Structure 1
Amino acid sequence: MKVMIKGYWLLSLMLLSVSQLSYANTAEQEINHLIDFVAQSDAIFIRNGTEHSSKDAAEHLAMKYSKATRYAKTAEKFIENLASKSSWSGKPYKVRLSNGTLLTSKDWLSNELEDYRRNLHTQL
């Protein structure tokens, strides 16, 4: 009986470890998707009052992520802590879409994350 209980505990710990690895991998995949999404967009990014190309914005977000991954354990935390506002000035990042619509990067990236997850689940 004791051997069986130990076996259940070992199996439970293994499954928990695998689920945590899967969670971390998923968060990183989602964050990388968001950075790629920014790079491939035709949007203009406004950071601290200065306009930047989508490629420059993606490079900036990738740099912030590489230096501050501890603040981005999930895609939501990445958006909230790194991709929504300047860590220097605290001003929100803005995005001007090709049709002229002006959004906060937080709203824009949150919508993309929802779409990405929805599309991922429909492919399964």
Structure 2
Amino acid sequence: MKVTMKGYWLIALMLLSISQFSDAATPEQEINHLIDFVAKSDAVFIRNGTEHSSQDAAEHLAMKYRKATRYAKTAEKFIENLASKSSWSGKPYKVRFSDGTLINAKDWLSNELADYRRNQHRQQ
């Protein structure tokens, strides 16, 4: 098959445009980032009225993700369906910071996801 110079340029342009899109994080990468973010935080997680360390909370979220990946096709769905409330009681997960501030895990993780995406976009 003979490829002309025009064909080479067309292939080069296609590869360039594909590589631009491949730099965006996949849903799995975003979810893994959120789990890692939880693990590295200095916060207390409250699940069904019981306090848990950030590491325990991250392990719990990772377990839920492994067992229920079908409910987390996007990072937003991960937050909504798995990371923000108890699948057993329906109670929202809470996060308490060292200064005593208490926030819903859904809001905290949604804000982190937005920050992560902004930073990913800047790096491209």
Which TM-score applies when normalising by structure 1?
Answer: 0.80
Match status 1:40 vs 2:40: yes
For residues 47-70 of structure 1, the C-alpha deviation after alignment (integer angstroms, 9 at most, x for no partner) is 000000000000000000000000
- Deviation of the 1:100 alpha carbon: 1.4
Aligned-residue Cα RMSD (Å) equals: 2.1
Count of equivalent residues: 106
- 2:119 and 2:97 map into 1 onto residues whose CA distance is 22
Give the alignment of 1:38-117 within 5 angstroms: 38-117=38-117
Which structure carries more helix by proportion? 1
Looking at both structures, which has the greater relative contact order when contacts are Cα pairs under 8 Å and sequence separation is at least 6? 2
Shift of 1:99: 1.9
Displaced runs of 4 or more, over 2 A: none
C-alpha distance in 1, partners of 2:33/2:99? 23
Which residue does the alignment assign to 1:6? none
Query: Normalization by structure 2: what TM-score?
Result: 0.80
TM-superposed CA distance for 1:122, in Å, is: 0.7
- Which runs of 5 or more residues in structure 1 are unaligned? 1-17
2:93 and 2:81 map into 1 onto residues whose CA distance is: 12
Q: Which residue identity does 1:53 align to in structure 2?
A: S
Q: CA deviation at 1:113?
A: 0.2
Instruction: Percent identity, please.
Output: 84
- What is residue 12 of structure 2 aligned with on the other side? none
User: Which of structures 1 and 2 has the bigger CA Rg?
Assistant: 2
Task: Give the whole-Å Cα distance in 2 for the aligned partners of 1:103 and 1:111.
Answer: 12
